[in-house]
Chain A
Amino acid sequence: DAGVIQSPRHEVTEMGQEVTLRCKPISGHDYLFWYRQTMMRGLELLIYFNNNVPIDDSGMPEDRFSAKMPNASFSTLKIQPSEPRDSAVYFCASRGDEQYFGPGTRLTVT
């Protein structure tokens, strides 16, 4: 298996722009998680899905953040409008027996 796939790997955008991060989980995994990692706050859980249904989005920082999982093999995390404080590495992870992370998207908002 290719593991969890994320795109893009790097994103640089200007404040106010819309950003969309993409994730393809490991086939057969029924849980998908979005995390954000910064030096100050560490690894924070933003939202997770079970069988494509959002279960807990209490970690989503603001209404500017939204996530969807239209099918078992694809999820998006959208930030609209983006702000400099959103700069971080965003990880997608999926879980079967254990949780496996994708390579992350390094987002820089200027």
Chain B
Amino acid sequence: GQSLEQPSEVTAVEGAIVQINCTYQTSGFYGLSWYQQHDGGAPTFLSYNGLDGLEETGRFSSFLSRSDSYGYLLLQELQMKDSASYFCAVRDKQAGTALIFGKGTTLSVSS
């Protein structure tokens, strides 16, 4: 089966940089995705890494190391509105094309 590990909670202040790590175990790994979910809302797509390296989208970046079964989401210049849950998700051969999600990391940004 698949398993994903990410921290349950992270706290930071406005303007800071935060890194949310994700380690995974899968069979036949395809790629790692990141989603953001605000309270009461739906998960929204942030980024996808299919290959090793860094993907940058504005204040958010995501990194993948396939050899280490590890990735992270980097959030820069934190804003209050970034307070949300962040999920890593994998797509692998066993699950077909479906995304399997981690338990999520709750990020709290304070002023």
Contacts and interface: CB of A to CB of B under 8 A. Distances in A.
A42 B87 CA distance: 10
Interface string A77-110: 0000000000000010001001111111000000
Contacts of B97: 31, 48, 50, 55, 95
A103 B87 contact: no
A55 B41 contact: no
Interface residues of A toward B: which range? 10 to 19
Interface in B79-111: 87, 95-104
A82 to B, nearest CB: 22
- Main secondary structure, interface of B, reads loop
A103 B95 CA distance: 23
Interface in A36-80: 42-43, 45, 48, 50, 55-56
Nearest to A46: B98
A33 B43 contact: no
B33 interface: yes
A42 B103 contact: yes
Contact of A56 (B42, B98, B99, B102): B98
A42 B100 CA distance: 11
A101 B96 contact: no
B19 interface: no
B98 to A, nearest CB: 5
Of B42, B44, B45, B99, chain A has the most CB atoms within 10 Å of the CB of: B42
A33 B98 contact: yes
Contacts of A43: 43, 87, 101, 104
Nearest to B101: A43
B48 interface: yes
Contacts of A48: 96-98
Given A99-B45, A101-B43, A103-B42, A42 B96 contact: no
